[in-house]
Amino acid sequence: MVTQTFEAVYDGKVLRPKKRLILETNTSVQVTIRAVEAKSKKKKSALEVIESLKVDAPSDWSEKIEEYLQAEKRAHER
């Protein structure tokens, strides 16, 4: 006898496993239900995403972007 633990979502009529089960079609099973808290994924703002990138850049990058881009272009042309 195989025991599996899996997460499922109840759609109002049927429990739907989140992952494929290792089980023959039409196999009878015994189910014990324990509700779990939904994992909320807080969406990050654009600023939070940018800050999380940990880019090593000059503090005045946004003010002098054209100057830095031109210097980069000249370095690649050499």
Which DSSP string do the residues of the chain spell out, in sequence order?
-------EEE-SS-EEESS--S--TT---------------PPPPHHHHHHHT-----TTTTTSHHHHHHHHHHHHH-
Q: Cα dihedral sign for 11, 12, 13, 17?
A: positive
User: Do the beta carbons of residue 43 and residue 56 sit within 8 Å?
Assistant: no
Instruction: State the pLDDT at residue 17.
Output: 93
pLDDT band at 72, cuts 50/70/90? confident
Residue 11: band (very low, low, confident or very high) from pLDDT cuts 50, 70, 90: very high
pLDDT computed for residue 52 by the predictor:
83
The predicted-structure confidence for 42-70, as pLDDT tens digits, reads as follows 888 888 887 788 777 777 777 888 887 88
* Mean pLDDT score of the chain: 84
